[in-house]
Amino acid sequence: MGGVALNDARSGQTPVSDGAPVLETVRLTLRPLRFDDLDMVAPMLADTEALKLWGAPLDREGSRRWIERNRQRYEVDGFGRSAVILRETGDLVGDCGLIRTLVEDRPEVELGWIIRRSWWGQGIATEAGEAWREYAFTVLGLDRIVSMISEDNLASRRVAEKLGMTAEREAVWGEAPMLMYSMNRSS
Ligand SMILES: CC(C)(COP(=O)(O)OP(=O)(O)OC[C@H]1O[C@@H](n2cnc3c(N)ncnc32)[C@H](O)[C@@H]1OP(=O)(O)O)[C@@H](O)C(=O)NCCC(=O)NCCS
């Protein structure tokens, strides 16, 4: 399957760090976010131009809270969004992972991705998303995952489609109208 080389997820041997899994793909290591990632996370989440179809950019304190929120998710849920590290260079090139959320009062697990602009178009979001999709269905045993994407965000919609997700319906999420992409374990 694509670029996925999910260490030992199927045998239940996925390494865990800081309460969350560490996943490996052909090019990437997906590992828990740490506070010392802030110098790399903050410019990514402050990139107004790159994030215009995602939402309001975050200042440095907002990025620190982003890391903090995900570290809280690791404690509570055992997973959250992770740092996307390109192993060859050691660069933090993005952020991708699963979060528990409510979509119009219904509990869902959402798979999301942000890649630093200089790394766009190299299949990184898809490769990271594939690893999390496999983790969601194979290790967590979830029945379904969703991705909440604004209609105009064609690159993100394409990533969802490459992962095998389909547009299910429009839904409000975080007060914004979104397209809800979804995928079931058996699909
Ligand atoms: C969306 C995002 C994560 C994609 O990251 P990426 O690593 O470049 O994604 P990939 O290379 O795996 O795949 C991108 C796909 O979108 C396609 N694409 C890019 N721009 C596109 C556009 N304007 N219209 C249609 N397709 C587009 C690419 O051609 C590629 O598809 P292909 O492999 O069939 O050629 C990245 O653009 C990003 O971080 N954007 C800002 C944050 C964001 O919007 N996150 C998603 C929130 S829902």
| 77-94 tens-digit pLDDT | 999 999 999 999 999 999
What is d(CA 165, CA 177) in angstroms, rounded to the nearest whole number?
18
**Are 108 and 120 contacting, i.e. CB atoms less than 8 angstroms apart?**
no
Ligand 1 centroid – CA 126 distance (Å): 9
Query: What pLDDT was estimated at residue 7?
Result: 52
Among protein residues, the one whose CA lies closest to atom 12 of ligand 1: 123
Would you put residue 141 in left (φ > 0), alpha (ψ -120 to 50) or beta? left
Among protein residues, the one whose CA lies closest to atom 45 of ligand 1: 114
Best probe residue, ligand 1, of 120, 145, 180 (max atoms within 8 Å of C-beta): 120
Residues 3-36 have pLDDT tens digits of: 444 554 444 579 999 999 999 999 999 999 999 9
E-assigned strand segments in the chain: 16-17, 20-21, 23-24, 28-32, 81-86, 91-103, 106-115, 144-149, 166-173, 176-184
Among protein residues, the one whose CA lies closest to atom 33 of ligand 1: 123
* Number of the ligand 1 atom closest to the C-alpha atom of 148: 48
Residue 141 above 50 pLDDT?
Answer: yes
Residue 171 above 80 pLDDT?
Answer: yes
Q: Which residues of 102-127 are buried (b: 16+ CB within 10 A; e: fewer)?
A: ebeeeebbbbbbbbbeebeeebbbbb
* Number of the ligand 1 atom closest to the C-alpha atom of 150: 48
Phi, psi of 60 (to 5 degrees): -60, -40
Query: What pLDDT was estimated at residue 12?
Result: 57
Instruction: Give the mean pLDDT of the chain.
Output: 93
15: which 2 tokens?
């390494």
**Are 172 and 178 contacting, i.e. CB atoms less than 8 angstroms apart?**
yes
Phi, psi of 46 (to 5 degrees): -105, 0
The domains of the chain are located at: 9-142
Query: What pLDDT was estimated at residue 187?
Result: 53
Query: What pLDDT was estimated at residue 1?
Result: 41
Q: Write out residues with Cβ below 6 Å of ligand 1.
A: 50-51, 53-54, 113-115, 120-126, 149, 153-156, 158-159
Q: Write the CA distances from 141 to 57, 61, 83, 135, 183, integer angstroms.
A: 33, 35, 23, 8, 13
* Number of the ligand 1 atom closest to the C-alpha atom of 126: 12
Among residues 162, 7, 36, 163, which one has the least CA distance to residue 98? Answer: 163
Residue 20: alpha-carbon gap to chain centroid: 13
Residues 40-73 have pLDDT tens digits of: 999 999 999 999 999 999 999 999 999 999 999 9
Query: What pLDDT was estimated at residue 13?
Result: 77
What CATH number does domain 9-142 carry, 3.40.50.1100, 3.40.50.300, 3.30.1280.10, 3.40.630.30? 3.40.630.30
Best probe residue, ligand 1, of 95, 151, 158 (max atoms within 8 Å of C-beta): 158
Centre a 10 Å sphere on the Cβ of residue 169 and count the other Cβ atoms it contains. Answer: 11
